[in-house]
Amino acid sequence: MSKPDARSKGQDQRQPIEWATVLPRLRTLLLVLIGFGVVPLLVNALTPAIVPTKVRYWVVPRWWVGIVLGTLVVAGGVAVWEVLHAPEWFAARLDSGDGVTDWLAQALPFWLLNLAAGVLLIPAGWAWKRRRVARAVSRRQIDDVYMQEQIEKARTQAADLAAATRIGVRLDVESHEVTGVGANAVRGPHELPNGRQAVGAIVRPTVRTFQDRAQDRQRVRQWQEPGSRWLTVPQKAGQVRLVMVAESGQGKTVLLFELMLALLRQGFRVVFLDGKGNPADAAALRAAAEGAGKTAAAPATYNLFNGTSAEVTDRVTRLFPQTEGDGAFYRKRARTVMQKLQKDSAASSLADLRERAYRPQDFVSDRYDLNMLRDTSGPVKNSPPMSVAALQDIETNFEDLRGLISEDGWSFDELPADLTTVTITPSDQAQKTLADLLLLGFRQHITKRAATGDDSPVVVVIDEFAQLVGVDVDPAEFVASIQETGRSLGVGIVAATQSVAGTSNDAMMQKRLMSAGAGILIGRTNDPEDAVKYAGTVMRMEASGAATGDQLGSGRAQHTYALHPQTVRLAADGMFWLVQNGSIVPFRALPPTVAPTNANQPAAADAEPAETAAPVLEDVEPAPEPAHDDEPAPDVDEPDVDEVGPEEAPAEGETAPERAPEPAAPVAGGAALWSRVANDEPQDDETPATPPPPKKPAQPKRSGVQFRSKGGS
């Protein structure tokens, strides 16, 4: 065959492309190849707009990232396989007919495969959509202003829920209360591998955009280590300076217990002033401290006369009302007499002070001072000598404190144990005065430490600080002074209250206390504005919205709360914010190893299975059948046998015997950790409870009006 014949034959074999037939088939191929992306896009498009306002929408479990990455790998493998086989499938499609049967025979297997791949891509599409919503919320670009606020609230609650799940705590999203604690929960104080003591888990957003991840993080120094997700106790006592503001039931006492146990583990001495007035709380704390190998004491009396002449004078005159008028006159006279009677040496007791007042010539060497003490020209006729008149005033104010003060009592210069607890009854004015004297004594102790160079760590913790404030007693002055100077002197102080207004009757003193440089720990409260303003403000774009909620109007940048008050009002139990040095760190308090009495606790059926050690009940007669169901509640983690401890649960039909808890043995988790433990046996550092005295017959009332003299006659 010649070359012209071969060329003509090749031209005859080339046929023109029929694009009318090829293009529809090519579109079919492209639809098949991209079909797996239609499913997640369709799911996101059909998702109601209200879904992002739900808390569960923003909860990201630990296994979620693995599922998203796994489905992306599978879907990517399917896409690569289809691309590699696309030429072969396209050639077969061109050679086939245009009938429905031919089309389905070739396209249906690919469509089914792509449908399965699209279903696998739903988690990835969901995550992509969620990040886009998070980005729009952070930029405040949601068209509906109300929905913008609802989404922000849901994200905050989801972050708290994720932190609670991480430490083994179950929360009720609707009521914001703790409903249970897992058997393997991380309990506080929790010792980290580096030896630091953690009392809280840092709360972080569950969904963060790439822009959020690129920003520099802020942390509260001394309380948070770089890159750590735990709130840790400072290693120096002077850095433990806190003002805690949270309402009753939020968990501030539980957090205080964890904080004090962590301080004891670090070798600090702790003095606990319990303004709630419940001795059972202090007893539980002492038992936990002794279980950790520390000494604990609950001294009954305080030594008012331990110290220098100036210190004793300040304490005695503090017994007088801190008001002007007659109170100022009697207070000044008592101070003058105390100074002159103690010029050579300090009085050691009230009896010593009496002897000096009645026999000043034996203790005063200066003739002028002696004549002044013997002066009888008082404010009333026939006044006794000035020293005796002042002594009578002192004894009048001292009378209610006789059972609380003695020369054998304790003092800050000579702490009786590693942990010293003092219970203050809020309704007893004498005990309020005692608390005021204790804070004055602590302030004097700090001054003495500075002079002697003593740097041993000591921290004073005050629960329900507002209960110590009275008409004539305002200890906020001492607390603010300690907050301002304690850091450099190696001492710390923590004051817990339910509101800023309760810290002092003086508005200026409230401001001084809150701005003294100490950390402010904020929990749920009905009036958070006075506390959150110390967290500062941020510049935020605020836009006007249409009444229909479908578009945003003009906007302007303005300063708003960095920590919004409504966020604090809606906080769940155990959720707190620590504000210090311009930084804010949200955290969740760890479930406690030992809890105070009447703390917000989960129901027993929801906390632990019935196989754990039964709690000891108070004043319950033995019954033939147990009062609770022995079957464990559904969806509750079963505890390990090792965690129950050597104590055996009572047999069926028996009641747990009442006995004192063993401090050295760790308490079992769940309800046993949160429930109240009855203890009728006296502790080592407590005097046995005396039986109540027999009822006395009613005494006839005296007629007339009785007066107690504050003067010298």
* Host H or E run for residue 245: strand 241-245
Q: Is 96 exposed, middle or buried (0-12, 13-18, 19+ CB in 10 A)?
A: middle
Length of the chain: 713
Segment among 30-39, 169-178, 514-523, 650-659 with least mean pLDDT: 650-659
Residues 69 and 125 in one domain: yes
Convert the pLDDT of each residue in 385-407 to its tens digit: 999 999 999 999 899 898 999 98
Residue 220 gets the label, from left (phi > 0), alpha (psi -120 to 50) or beta, of: beta
- The strand pairing partners of 318, in sequence order, are none
Q: Report the alpha-carbon angle 479-484-488, nearest 5.
A: 120
Residues 359 and 427 in one domain: no
The answer to whether position 317 is within a domain reads yes
pLDDT given at position 166? 93
CATH code, 469: 3.40.50.300
pLDDT given at position 395? 93
The answer to whether position 497 is within a domain reads yes
| Domain range enclosing 405 | 302-409
The answer to whether position 37 is within a domain reads yes
Residues 461 and 577 in one domain: yes
Residues 565 and 482 in one domain: yes
The answer to whether position 549 is within a domain reads no
pLDDT given at position 244? 95
Asked if 151 and 50 touch (Cβ cutoff 8 Å), the reply is no
Between CA 534 and CA 514 the distance in angstroms is 8
Which CA distances in Å does 667 have to 615, 618, 662? 10, 18, 9
- The strand pairing partners of 521, in sequence order, are 244, 578
The answer to whether position 479 is within a domain reads yes
Q: Which residue has the tokens 């002007």?
A: 324
The answer to whether position 470 is within a domain reads yes
Segment among 4-18, 296-310, 396-410, 599-613 with least mean pLDDT: 599-613
Q: Three-state SS string across 445-491, please?
A: HHHHHHHHCCCCCEEEEEECHHHHCCCCCCCHHHHHHHHHHHHHHCE
169-171 vs 519-522, strand pairing mode: unpaired
Residues 236 and 152 in one domain: no
Q: Over pLDDT 90: what percentage of the chain?
A: 38
Between CA 352 and CA 365 the distance in angstroms is 17
pLDDT given at position 482? 86
Q: Chain-centre distance of CA 496, in angstroms? A: 11
pTM here is 0.73
Residues 52 and 167 in one domain: yes
The answer to whether position 191 is within a domain reads yes
Considering 344, 374, 409, which residue would you say is the last residue of a domain?
A: 409
Q: pLDDT: is 610 or 451 the higher one?
A: 451
Residues 261 and 403 in one domain: no
pLDDT given at position 258? 95
Nearest to 572 by CA among 146, 50, 150, 163: 163
Considering 409, 430, 452, which residue would you say is the last residue of a domain?
A: 409
Residues 399 and 421 in one domain: no
Confidence bin at 79 (pLDDT 50/70/90): confident
pLDDT given at position 652? 40
Residues 272 and 402 in one domain: no
Q: Is the pLDDT reported for residue 466 higher than 90?
A: no
Q: Which residue has the tokens 């849901």?
A: 154
Between CA 164 and CA 663 the distance in angstroms is 28
Q: pLDDT: is 129 or 469 the higher one?
A: 129
Convert the pLDDT of each residue in 13-57 to its tens digit: 555 555 555 566 556 555 555 566 677 777 877 788 889 999 999
Q: Chain-centre distance of CA 85, in angstroms? A: 60
pLDDT given at position 637? 41
Residues 402 and 313 in one domain: yes
Convert the pLDDT of each residue in 628-679 to its tens digit: 344 434 343 433 333 333 333 344 444 444 444 444 444 333 333 333 333 4
Sequence-separated (6 or more) residues with CB below 8 Å from residue 213: none
The answer to whether position 147 is within a domain reads yes
Strand ranges, E, within 188-238: 190-191, 197-202, 230-232
Q: How many domains does the chain have?
A: 3
Q: Is the pLDDT reported for residue 524 higher than 50?
A: yes
